[in-house]
Amino acid sequence: MKAIVQTEYGSADVLHLEEVDPPTLPDHGVLVRVHAASVHAGDWHLMRGTPFLIRLIYGGLRKPQIKILGTDVAGQGEAVGAAVTQFKPGDEVFGDLSESGFGAFAEYVCAAPTAFALKPTNLTFEEAATVPVSALAALQGLRDVGQLQAGQRVLVKGAAGGVGSFAVQIAKALGAETTGLCSPSKVETVRSLGADHVMADSHPLPASHYDLILDTAAYHPIVDSLPALTPTGTYVLVGGATPRFFQAMLLGPLISKLQGRQVKCLTSKPNQADLILLKELIEAGKFRPYLDRTYTLDEVPAAIRALEQRRVRGKVAIRIP
């Protein structure tokens, strides 16, 4: 089968289209013929091996142990293991492979049944492939970490990005009054997502206004955002510069104690029940992906470069015919 392979850490230049052996099917596995994948920040962190903690978590201090990247996947069941009852050959599925060995940038992938859910019937494979990782992060950041309640006011920073474009819509589905913050050139994109209010990131934030700030693009000091929270509000860091993650994890409890406002950091987890919930919300018309562009399998390096350079609105998909 064809796959995008890397044997060393580095820029997108280390990614190459090669012929490799297809995965074997264990008794507890599902073999999927991949129709589409997507890219997100985790892909280029694994590709570059930065921050260094990535190498400790996934192995390969000098060379990557994960040869085929790709977490978001959508495709059709090719075969199922003898012990699998949840799926059958021919089922259209989508899933998150981050705890199942990765490998979405290939014509076939094999993973545990818990990595997948049935694909939303009203999405194409390309659209469905953009959902799992980013929409799960948005849902878990808002609902679980941010404890968002209906009627509260939420600010989504980086609202035109992958996680942000889902967060705006999911926050609305949860009953919140939603404001999207983005660069001036992307204001119309965020408005099209259904945000109640849209602000350019050059606009000063109102004081003591938001119950929750979901920061998907934390490139500025966290303390700059805190005055915009109500006295009991919560700031949740989802994405952005690596130093901001360490700041939130290490200093968050201290900042929370001194400020009164909570500072938290999302650690998103694959969850089949949440995938099924996302499927139901999509089929009910509550949200859908904002698909910027579709690439082919051999164009995965170009897709990752566009993501690294922050030239993507919403999500991009990888079509694997």
Other Cβ atoms less than 10 A from the Cβ of 90: the count is: 8
Q: How far apart are CA 19 and CA 315, in angstroms?
A: 27
Task: Specify whether 31 is located in the same domain as 124.
Answer: yes
Question: How many Å is the Cα radius of gyration of the chain?
Answer: 19
**What number is the average pLDDT over the span 97-125?**
97
The pLDDT score that the predictor gives to residue 79 is 98
Task: Specify whether 246 is located in the same domain as 146.
Answer: yes
Task: Specify whether 124 is located in the same domain as 143.
Answer: no
Q: What is the CATH number of the domain that holds 180?
A: 3.40.50.720
Task: Specify whether 297 is located in the same domain as 244.
Answer: no
183 found inside a domain: yes
Task: Specify whether 198 is located in the same domain as 311.
Answer: no
pTM for this entry: 0.94
Structural domain including 241 reads 133-265
Distances (CA, A) of 101 to 98, 104, 271: 6, 9, 15
283 found inside a domain: no
Considering its fold, how many domains does the chain have in total? 2
| 116 alpha carbon, distance to own chain's centre | 15
Task: Specify whether 14 is located in the same domain as 97.
Answer: yes
Partners of 73 in beta bridges? 37, 95
Task: Specify whether 217 is located in the same domain as 243.
Answer: yes
Task: Specify whether 104 is located in the same domain as 26.
Answer: yes
Task: Specify whether 183 is located in the same domain as 156.
Answer: yes
The pairs formed by 228-231 with CB atoms below 8 angstroms and a separation of 24 or more are: 228/155, 229/261, 230/261, 231/260, 231/261
Q: What is the CATH number of the domain that holds 95?
A: 3.90.180.10
Task: Specify whether 117 is located in the same domain as 163.
Answer: no
The pLDDT score that the predictor gives to residue 298 is 97
Query: Model confidence over 167-216: pLDDT tens digits?
Result: 999 999 999 999 999 999 999 999 999 999 999 988 899 999 999 999 99
pLDDT > 70: what percent of the chain? 100
Query: Model confidence over 71-90: pLDDT tens digits?
Result: 999 999 999 999 999 999 99
116 found inside a domain: yes
